Amino acid sequence: MSHIILRPHQEDALSSMEENDLGKIILPTGAGKSIVFIKNTIEQFKSDIPQTVCVVAPRLLLAVQLSADYEKHISNAKYMHVHSGSRLKHYRTTKIEDIQEWHNIHKDHHKLIFTSYNSLKKVTESNIRVDVYHFDECHNSTKKNFFPHIEDAVKKADKKYFFTATPKNSAIPTKKPGMNITEVYGDMICNVPMTQMVDGGYVLPPLVVKKEVNVEESTDEMNNNLILSTLDEEGPKKVLIAAKSTKSIISLLTETDFSSQVKDRGYHLMHITAMHGAYIDGKEVKRDVFFKTLNEWGCDDEKKFVLLNYSILSEGINCTGLDCVIFMRNQGVIEMCQTIGRVIRLHKEDADRIASGELRVGDYKNYKKPHGLVVLPISDDKSKVIANAVESVIFKSFIKGEIISQEIEK
């Protein structure tokens, strides 16, 4: 097992887990919550009695990513995935009898199970003993079809911890699931505000740029010109486009000269959708190749790219090196925060210089990457409302240090 050096806020989160068997842990994007999961699991696996830890994620991509993160630090456990998909390194199943058999075969070993909220019911219905649950991005757990299995898991396990940056509460807890149902989610046992993350030098403040667009143009041409003007005027190297829809991505690529214009400016073009798959410079690739390339290019200062996506990359998935996001659509508060979180990570060189004392936290003029650029198109009253909503979220989170939560009313 490798040695893990914890940040102060990660130490606080772990201490709260040691003192409580149930609770909500609010860690903002960039806080490194996966390290908290892993360190807590390492502590659980020091027991002479075999322990089972189950990690629950909202997306299959994230479940696979978390599994790979755990493997870097934990080798004294057996791994299993309970969700759909293929091409996994570890054993995978969605059959209850297979889960039971696997758990019994490895009864003398520590065990790690990775599942999704959609497949959690397979784990709970198997009635295997799970000692600890880590619920990642747990605002997803409040969906009506997920919540009964969350309740079941909480009743059966000894320890259960709910992690999110953006809680989702219910306006009517007696009728609609929400994270303010303390019998299931417990109390808030740790809350790290975004201001603490910025002041500690762990994330960057966002810089908002509003750009006027020509409403007389077609939507495709308007989007094309917005992105290209951002590349020309702001000069970002690694750009995430939060597209309005899969259809809008395909239309931009087929109905304008966007691809050639991006190439002429020295940028690679990447796009990924659930419907059409993953592409790099016009060539279709496997998802694992796409994400491997994305993170390699993210770490390479010489590489410039534009990345089009609809929803897939907003939550949890590692996207190294992004320095700009362009909002092409309205988003809910939670997805908005998650999307902004993609671009506020420090440049590795800045992080290393801060750690060595060479660079002072907050001396942004000497940072290689001084901010995360957030570009908002302005065309009409509706777009102004969207821009104001984004600015309001940034003010509350990064200036006032408030928890950004969403209330479920319907």
Max Cα–Cα distance, the chain, nearest Å: 70
Find, among 9, 14, 1, the residue nearest to 159 by Cα.
14
pLDDT of 410: 61
Taking only Cα atoms into account, the Rg of the chain, rounded to an integer number of angstroms, comes to: 22
Mean pLDDT over residues 318-331, rounded? 82
Q: Which residue has the higher pLDDT, 202 or 288?
A: 202
pLDDT higher than threshold 90 for residue 390:
no
Please spell the DSSP secondary structure of 376-408, one letter per residue: EEE-SHHHHHHHHHHHHHHIIIIIS-----EEE
Lowest mean pLDDT of 257-271, 327-341, 379-393, name the range.
327-341
Residue reference for tokens 């996994």: 88
State how far the Cα of 6 lies from the Cα of 23, in Å rounded to an integer. Answer: 21
Q: What is the DSSP string of 36-72?
A: HHHHHHHHHTTSSS--EEEEEESSHHHHHHHHHHHHT
Question: Per mean pLDDT, which range of 232-246, 322-336, 390-404 is the poorest?
Answer: 322-336
Q: What is the mean pLDDT of residues 90-103?
A: 96
Q: What is the pLDDT of residue 276?
A: 85
Q: In this predicted model, what pLDDT tens digit does every residue of 109-159 receive, in sequence order?
A: 999 999 999 999 999 999 999 999 999 999 999 999 999 999 999 999 999
Mean pLDDT, residues 201-217 taken together? 89
Say what the pLDDT of residue 245 is: 87
Q: What percent of the chain has pLDDT over 70?
A: 96
Q: To the nearest whole number, what is the mean pLDDT of the chain?
A: 91
pLDDT at 211 over 80: yes
Q: What is the pLDDT, as a whole number, of residue 2?
A: 58
**In this structure, are residues 63 and 83 in contact, taking their beta carbons and an 8 Å threshold?**
yes
| pLDDT at site 313 | 59
pLDDT tens digit string along 145-166? 999 999 999 999 999 999 999 9
Q: What is the pLDDT of residue 243?
A: 87
